[in-house]
């Protein structure tokens, strides 16, 4: 497992990414001063964005159904935990965009290669709203685990 986003596992057989880019900002607001350079005031953290870029080869790795699964998660509008395979917890993220490009098309339109870019933004749990996320996570877990009879 490379990373998990909610209940979606990034791995070689699902949607392996080849690159992770992270951009973290801090709010340093400028205050104009007469005859001097602007003064800067630290107002706290700014946006934290992670971009995952990858290439899928459906005949060997994951394919379109896996990207559709992530797209469905984003359509629910929830923030999901993002945890690296090393155990590093990045926090809760919402998906801003999922871009895909299909190349090397077959006669029936099936792609032999699918490139994707996924942009995730970190959200803060300032009002305890993320605790409500446990409901959807628990529901997904119950559907994913086979029932023992």
Residue 133 in contact with residue 79, Cβ under 8 Å? yes
Each domain of the chain, given as residue ranges in start order, spans 3-25+46-52+60-143
Give the pLDDT confidence score for residue 137 in this predicted structure: 56
pTM score of the predicted model: 0.78
pLDDT in tens, 68-118: 999 999 999 999 999 999 999 999 999 999 999 998 888 888 888 999 999
Q: CA 146, CA 149: separation in Å to the nearest integer?
A: 9
> What's the mean pLDDT in 10-28?
93
Give the pLDDT confidence score for residue 149 in this predicted structure: 43
Please report the DSSP string for 13-49 in residue order. TS---SEEEEEEEEEEEEEEETTEEEEEEEEEEEEEE
What sign results for the dihedral spanned by CA atoms 93, 86, 21, 28? Answer: positive
pLDDT at 37 over 70: yes
pLDDT in tens, 117-140: 999 999 986 655 555 555 555 555
Q: Which of 7-16, 53-62, 89-98, 106-115 ranks highest by mean pLDDT? A: 89-98
Residue 143: band (very low, low, confident or very high) from pLDDT cuts 50, 70, 90: low
Give the pLDDT confidence score for residue 41 in this predicted structure: 94
């Amino acid at each position: 497992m490379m990373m998990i986003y909610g209940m979606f596992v990034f791995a070689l057989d699902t949607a392996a990414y080849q690159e992770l880019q992270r951009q973290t900002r801090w709010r340093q607001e400028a205050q104009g001063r007469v005859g001097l350079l602007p003064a800067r005031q630290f107002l706290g953290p700014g946006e934290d964005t992670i971009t995952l870029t990858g290439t899928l080869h459906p005949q060997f790795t994951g394919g379109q159904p896996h990207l559709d699964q992530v797209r469905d998660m984003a359509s629910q509008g929830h923030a999901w935990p993002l945890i690296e395979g090393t155990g590093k917890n990045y926090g809760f993220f919402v998906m801003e965009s999922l871009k895909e490009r299909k190349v090397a098309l077959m006669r029936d339109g099936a792609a032999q290669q699918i490139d994707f870019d996924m942009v995730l933004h970190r959200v803060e749990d300032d009002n305890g709203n993320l605790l409500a996320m446990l409901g959807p996570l628990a529901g997904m877990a119950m559907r994913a685990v086979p029932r023992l009879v």
